[in-house]
Structure 1
């Protein structure tokens, strides 16, 4: 029995060291400084928005996109077989603004309900070689959003990772949980990209060139995967040479968050389902991070209950929480989400088992619609 207890103690210390090392790694983003918006290169941009039953959001956000302070841009509005008034809204705005291009997608037997098919049609209709993507419910954080994203296309940079925030809802724990998870995700994909290992981006705020899109044969390699028009494309196309990151607050977009737990659960199921299609090493490092988190909590409880070498156990727990709190706190402040940090230990523990339940559910049945 003593040998087993000793073994558990050393395993716990090893797991704690691995998990703490990840948070030290995330300091790369946490303490990085945003580049100043001083690039003279401002190429013509095609803003591409794919919409399915988004009439109300389009009424709200098309004026925000139109009002962007940018010299040369068009807006490609894709109506993906909507059954509400989306088509009418797009047509009405297109009458007043000549830089709006319409794409109306009809369902077909081969690509029924595929967002990637709809996006491909929109990309083919785009006039410009630099593409900026967002969703119908996304509001730019400033009138200089397009400028801040477009001026990252310098040198060999052909793909720009931006931050897609969520609207703050006062008094909602679910809202804080959603935004906390969003900060954790951004902290990870920014850190990996900054150290030359980009693995994902979010379609709420993402830019790349038509050259890169056609070089990768578009979405053809994962066309049968319903989700992943953003992260799977980035995972496939991104390199340490061609990726730029942008976390200037003027470059953010702000989306409407889910209002109920069940809606968010469904959304996260779609997101998580794409991870199995990542490159092997990306899956390995992301899986190791999650596993080290889960085992850290489980083994911490076990060794504390046993009481073996409790001073070392408590010390490892304190160091881990100190490092992780700094990484998350500074990152959240950088992303203007500092209010999500106060419930960090509770939200982190909840998310661990929330994600575990999603993994198990997705093993049983796969999400099969993008919306």
Structure 2
């Protein structure tokens, strides 16, 4: 009987988190907050991204926005990245190039390169994306920047991955969806804790107020989530979730590469604020325990009660996650949500067990 009570308590904790996620799942997207269109700086840092830049620079330049500059940062690339940038810059005065050479103190450090790009920005409001990302529409820049106000200085967007055949693609997109649900939901209840560099915006005033990336300059990852974790507050943060504001990029096609990427990203979580680490930790532990206890409880005399708890938890999950998936244009993931969740929980456990404390200050 004690096992049943424990299982019920774990499921209840799961459901409590889903009630937090409702804050985002049932939120109606705000098309525009401000009709004003002040100048913005679109900043992209690239390292050995010649092909992606060739494909994506036209998307960025074709945004329906009256006044913006495109700052392209070449972070000591060894391919034709700089040449591609210069080729586009010859024909468009909106492009500013920051050519970063390796610095002995900041060798291969994206945050150092980004800092130089931010210092070049002429405009107070800045929008960031990655070289391998392209906007969902020509109104992306307008949609993101419209959420800036005198109070809102940090805007969280959705950086999606392209839909492609295969299980790994769906797993990557489900993990991205679940992460977005969490950081959007926490932002809605006044506890913003992270964002993604694929689609992020903040003001130069906020950047300089927090002394940029100085507190974690030696950490390879975290130019997005660690900065947001430090700088975001209930009052200064907004979210942008209209479909035209999304960005898309190609996901990893190799399980080992994706695993390595996630392993690197998880190293930044230990630097989050204590409250954020506790909330994320409890969520993961509750998910892990739910799956472990589900198997055990079904082989006991209380299996009928256990099955009822499992069914109720899955119904709530389908409603909350399913609603968010439709909002973020990931509806094809809904049918197998529990399966993706189980695989993701096991993957995260494997990453946690195998991750190394090896220090790495290079992002590529």
| TM-score computed with the length of structure 1 as normaliser | 0.96
Is 1:249 the counterpart of 2:243 in the alignment? Answer: yes
> Within 2, Cα distance between the matches of 1:69 and 1:188?
30
Partner of 2:223: 229
In the alignment, does 2:263 pair up with 1:273? no
Provide Cα deviations, 1:90-135, integer angstroms capped at 9, x if missing partner: 1111111101000111111100011000000000011111010000
What runs of 5+ residues in structure 2 fail to find an aligned partner?
none
| 2:63 paired with 1:68 | yes
- Partner deviation per Cα, 1:1-39 (whole Å, 9 max, x = no partner): xxxxx3222111111100111112211101000002262
| Secondary structure of the structure 2 residue equivalent to 1:26 | helix
Any conservation in 2 of the 1:273–1:367 contact (CA below 8 Å)? no
The answer to whether the 8 A contact 1:158-1:209 is kept is yes
Distance 2:221 2:357 in 1: 17
Please say if 1:53 is aligned against 2:48.
yes
3-state DSSP of counterpart to 1:332:
helix
Tell me by how many angstroms 1:325 deviates. 1.1
Residue 324 of structure 2 is matched in structure 1 by 331
The alignment of Structure 1 onto Structure 2 pairs a total of residues equal to: 364
**2:182 maps to 1:208:** no
1:290 partnered with 2:290: no
| 8 Å contact kept, 1:138–1:255 | yes
1:199 aligns with 193
Distance 1:35 1:234 in 2: 22
Q: Which residue of 2 aligns with 1:310?
A: 303
Q: 1:257-276 CA deviation, whole Å, 9 max, x = no partner?
A: 11111111111112111100
Q: What's 1:354 paired with?
A: 347
Cα deviation for residue 324 of structure 1 reads: 0.7
Aligned residue for 1:104, secondary structure, equals strand
Where does the alignment leave 5 or more consecutive residues of structure 1 unmatched?
A: 1-5
Distance 2:274 2:57 in 1: 39
1:342 corresponding residue in structure 2: 335
Give 1:155 deviation, angstroms.
Answer: 3.5
The answer as to whether partners of 1:68 and 1:144 remain within 8 angstroms in 2 is yes
Aligned to 1:127: 122
Matched-pair contact (CA < 8 Å) for 2:107–2:361: no
Q: CA deviation at 1:172?
A: 1.4
Matched-pair contact (CA < 8 Å) for 1:47–1:131: yes
Q: Does 1:219 align with 2:213?
A: yes
Q: Is the 8 A contact 1:16 1:320 kept in 2?
A: yes
Cα distance change of structure 1 residues 80 and 241 upon mapping to structure 2, 3 Å threshold: same
What TM-score comes out, normalization by structure 2 length? 0.98
1:29 aligns with 2:35: no
